[in-house]
Chain A
């Protein structure tokens, strides 16, 4: 069932319901929707970050329904609700299936044509909900050498949590636009070889997207990194 985020504005002491409108939902789904206009299937085994350091290739799990509130406690609750089962590592591949909170979902390898990944496009094209959802995204970044003093820099619409090589590095709460370098990690090491980024993006209503890149000690984008989404098991 398609669900549409509806914003209600009531004059006077204004109140809002930014969320599902069951009564507004069409009765029938279209059989198939056009592919996401800003996303393609990855082409080739690896891809370099772009000239501004943005990572274009990601593995994205179909959205997990969550309440969609965006305060810090609500985000923590959403993460618990949408937690990935430990047994799901082997399925963290393009087309892999995983059951989250009782819902069967699929991983999709995507490559964005823009600097950001439009999760609204992603979910809409799959006839999945775009509001009150949590998206899991992952990618692997290969560095040709050890680099210290690096920062992971992201923008997300809306709240998000980010991990690098299993360590939490960025936490953004509340309703927010995706702004380049909005959330920036503390200085962290980027190790030679594979570095795995995992993130959860939680959306209340409207558009949802994210962008990510690494900055060097002078806050300049790091070039020369390659990205892949094949078999993201951290033990690999």
Chain B
């Protein structure tokens, strides 16, 4: 029997099933960064190991970042201020430069955050080169801070900010010069914004600054208690308060992401702004139980509710009703439907009292075998009121070895219990035919920041631009250019 899942706008009863594909072993990943058609992240380890992906779903290890430096290690001043470990980097693209900040701890809390400056992330490019920018901030081993775990934000006003710190005292914020990547006011004291946490990074959204940090302990596999927490402030300098009004300087922090399903210890938040209405976040889990408890990379949807970010989950396989947010009607094969449990005569009218309602035995769900004998081999697809009929129930399942996009593999969308697959037809219309694995039958399903979904074919032969599923009317679905403001292109995946 097909598993039925309830996937509400903001909550799922289903647990996340996928944590990317390929070689995704990493700890303390930098914010996943898109550049020149690829995705990159860097992690803790000897020389800062590099993970690269062509699509955001399947990853591979491509050497270490420090190997591009003349000595293969941090510069002398970084080593003097901190030490010779290389941990927990973060990277940001400003203009024609990439600024990469990394932790160089010695005997903690003596540590430094070093800067590397490059013009491309692509190691195969002739322009690939990293220049040592020296230490940006450091801790002397005595003060109430440990200068590791950099997180950077380029605010909408063009100012660049760096937060850093760990369990030896304060999380601190300094302003950087967007032209050089170095401190803008090196003589000013850093601002304390939180305490006793790790992996801090500020983000901005709709008039608020948010500080994401990781609480708990790392590096013990399934015994790690890492969890991501946050506070917000109208000013980048704080105070950052949680949902209960507790300052993060006093240990406050609203939960953003905790252990779930087969993944223990989420940490090291990084924001991916992929497109209008589509935000995701990169992170690592301390332990992926499906990979022997190793620390792995993941990318998940980022939602917003009541002024706070919400950690979404990538879509899991299941059977859904695909409901238009515009019309409330659901996607179905364009075939004659039959009422669940068979036809019943309309209750007679008249002037007399209505008959007493009568209960009866349970009515079984409608399966396609009961009603599909008259369905044509190829059908159009349309929208109709939800009636729980067989042609309205869609099984969404990942397609192996077909690639994907940040956080998920491509899916096929098939009428439950059949081989009839939603297919993008030439000209931007829709049909349903047997699955053959063509790009027109591979679907990208992105959860949007409001919790609804955008559904798009991988590609359509001859189409000049990316098209997405769109409700042209109450009964007519089509494919149309992306309009992030329109409910036409927002879909809810509900229990059928």
Interface residues of A (CB under 8 A from B): 4-16, 18, 21, 24, 37, 115-116, 120-121, 155, 157, 174-180, 182, 204-207, 209
Contacts and interface: CB of A to CB of B under 8 A. Distances in A.
Given A14-B219, A175-B217, A179-B251, A207 B196 contact: yes
Contacts of A7: 108, 218-219
Contacts of A9: 27-28, 44-45, 87, 218-219
Contacts of A8: 219
Contacts of B28: 9
Contacts, number: 97
B337 interface: no
Chain B interface extent, by class: 35 or more
18 contacts: A7-B108, A11-B26, A11-B43, A12-B25, A12-B295, A15-B221, A18-B220, A115-B250, A177-B196, A177-B197, A177-B216, A179-B246, A179-B251, A179-B253, A205-B167, A206-B166, A207-B169, A209-B196
Main secondary structure of the interface of A (DSSP, over half): loop
A7 B218 CA distance: 9
Given A6-B108, A13-B293, 17 more contacts: A4-B107, A7-B108, A9-B45, A12-B294, A13-B221, A13-B294, A14-B218, A14-B294, A16-B217, A116-B251, A121-B144, A155-B251, A177-B196, A177-B216, A179-B251, A207-B168, A207-B196
Contacts of A24: 107
B233 interface: no
Interface string B129-169: 00000000000000010000000000000000000001111
A212 to B, nearest CB: 13
Nearest to A157: B196
A120 B168 contact: yes
Contact of A13 (B44, B107, B215, B292): B292
B252 A180 contact: yes
- Return the 4 tightest CB-CB contacts between A and B, nearest first: A16-B219, A206-B167, A11-B45, A179-B251
Given A13-B294, A115-B250, A174 B218 contact: no
Given A9-B44, A11-B26, A13-B293, A206 B225 contact: no
Could you say which of B107, B217, B246, B293 has the most chain A C-beta atoms within 10 Å of its C-beta?
B217
A178 B252 CA distance: 9
Contacts of A174: 225
Interface string B277-295: 0000000001000001111
